[in-house]
Amino acid sequence: MTDQKLKPEDLVLQATDYYYKSEFKEALKSLDKAIEIKPDFAEAWYNKGITYSVMGHVQDEINSYDNALEINPDYAEAWSNKASALGRAGRLDEALQSAEKAIELKPSFAVAWCNKGASLSGLERELEAVAAYDEAIRIQEYYLEAWFNKAVSLHNLDKLQGALKAYNRVLELHPNYQEAYYNRAGLYVKLEDLESAKSDLEKAIKLDSLYRERALEDESLKTLIS
């Protein structure tokens, strides 16, 4: 069946296939055809946003979610994803408002709570961010990103034991999470456990050699490089 004969819903499925094959430009073409046939197709606009996200086109991503929300103002997933995109664009107050709108529409939406936490953290409201991450984790116990972000916020607050517990949980869930090893190495330095710090730093570097360069630029970690 040619593209011209496909229904809008079929074109969205076709776009999804292209997306998972990392053929993002082709995915956008299929979504544009779906929207051309059915301009009020909120899901197609939403999927355009997701596609632009992986392409790194943040403003196009935001515009796509805005189009989806103009059609369906109660689209919680679009509000949540828009919050994430606005955060990446540095528009943190708007990001927080979008995350809160997603939560208002869907109170048990763990991703929206995590996006709220990220917005609050960006606004240097770390205690409130931790509370948002805790809610995300209450809803979804094994939510890796929420655990990691919680660890970072607690670390920023110098709540070292709480941060350590959260990093430990991250590494239970994902034993090869190099950023968690790197961050925990810095935390162990603060806790004056240099042996554990060195071990974690070595693990991070083994997983990704770029962490060696980062450590050499960090006064607290560069002495641990052998």
Number of H helices, E strands in the chain: 13, 0
Band of the pLDDT at 5, cuts 50, 70, 90? Answer: confident
76 phi, psi to nearest 5 deg:
-60, -40
C-alpha–C-alpha distance, residues 70 and 115, integer Å:
21
Q: Which residue is it, tokens 């995590």?
A: 114
**pLDDT averaged over every residue in the chain:** 96
Does the pTM exceed 0.85? yes
For the cut 70, the answer to whether the pLDDT of residue 3 exceeds it is no
Tally of CB atoms within 10 A around 78: 28
Band of the pLDDT at 6, cuts 50, 70, 90? Answer: confident
Answer for the pair 115, 99: CB distance below 8 angstroms, yes or no. Answer: yes
C-alpha–C-alpha distance, residues 19 and 12, integer Å:
10
Retrieve residue 46's tokens. Answer: 């939403």
C-alpha–C-alpha distance, residues 109 and 191, integer Å:
35
Mark 167-180 as b/e (b = at least 16 C-beta within 10 Å). bebbbeeeeebbbb
Tally of CB atoms within 10 A around 125: 17
What tens digit of pLDDT does each residue of 14-66 get? 999 999 999 999 999 999 999 999 999 999 999 999 999 999 999 999 999 99
- Read off the DSSP letter of residue 90: T
Read out DSSP for 179-215? HHHHHHHHHHHHTT-HHHHHHHHHHHHHH-THHHHHH
